[in-house]
Amino acid sequence: MPGNVIGIVQARMGSSRLPGKSLAPLLGRPMLQVLMERVVPAQRVDRWIIATTQLPMDDRIEELAGRLDIHCFRGSENDCLDRYYQAARQNDAGIVVRLTGDNPLMDASFADWSIEQFFQSNPPVDYTESSTSKTFPLGLSLEVISFPALEKAWKEDPSPNTREHVSPYIYQHPNQFRLGALRGPYNYSHMRWTVDTDADLQFVRTVFEHFGSTDFSWLEAAQEIELHPEWLDINRHVVQRAF
């Protein structure tokens, strides 16, 4: 398949539930920086991009990307599908790996494994993701999308609501796209790792402070959390928003 594998991480300062969460301190540095430290070593990704909005408040996201020497693309605030498409097109993407900046426990090994699963799918797929199998923690969330599928969605999706979430047009039209689903060997779906609230932030801080660094795998985190089930009580009450 032509083109590069481009990892695109969407991040912004204007979260309604936890404003500024992308730069919330985690191990003494911004959460988005911690995430990038964990995923940039992925061997199957040719280039990483942080995709943010054109709003002045997101100048800080671009400044952080600059300090990390990671390309920053600035696009639509609400049409995230357009933001992804334009970033992917400008970087000659053949495959897009979609991450979000509020999932700091994502890591390079999971990105590499997911990309391998995409390429090894038989029959081939246009899109695969880690959520529908209900085997991974909420917040170990990743999508692998062929550029032609992304472009088709960009051209054809008429709904501002689904365009805000990038990929619904793809997985809601299985007659038009070849869909896959990533499945793990263990069921960790009872774990909430995404950061939407103060309680979620407290949870991920507990995990990172336990390890004392960013140098651990998602699977090591899951195994350690199993040994400390009380950590899950920190944000067990948080209700995930449906779009």
| pLDDT single digits (tens) 80-99 | 999 999 999 999 999 999 99
Beta strands, E only, the chain: 4-10, 25-26, 29-30, 47-53, 71-75, 93-100, 127-129, 143-146, 179-181
Report the predicted TM-score, pTM, of the whole model to 2 decimal places: 0.97
Q: How confident is the model at residue 220 (pLDDT cuts 50, 70, 90)?
A: very high
Over the stretch 46-76, which tens digit does the pLDDT of each residue have? 999 999 999 999 999 999 999 999 999 999 9
Long-range contacts of 110-114 (CB under 8 A, 24+ apart): 110/140, 110/142, 110/218, 111/7, 111/39, 111/42, 111/44, 111/45, 111/142, 112/42, 112/43, 112/44, 112/45, 114/142, 114/144, 114/182
Domain residue extents for the chain: 4-233
pLDDT class for 228, splitting at 50, 70, 90? very high
> Residue 1 above 50 pLDDT?
no
Among residues 15, 58, 12, 31, the alpha carbon closest in space to that of 202 is found at 31
Per-residue pLDDT band for 3 (boundaries 50, 70, 90) equals: confident
**Residue 243: its pLDDT value, please?**
64
Rounded mean pLDDT of 22-47? Answer: 98
Cβ atoms of 45 and 142 within 8 Å: the answer is no
Q: Are 232 and 225 in contact (CB under 8 A)?
A: yes
* Confidence at residue 65, expressed as pLDDT on a 0 to 100 scale: 98
Q: Specify the DSSP element, H or E, that contains 206.
A: helix 198-211
Q: Which CATH number does 4-233 carry?
A: 3.90.550.10
* DSSP E strand boundaries for 84-210: 93-100, 127-129, 143-146, 179-181
* Burial class of residue 225, CB neighbours in 10 A (0-12, 13-18, 19+): buried
pLDDT cut 70: percent of the chain above it: 99
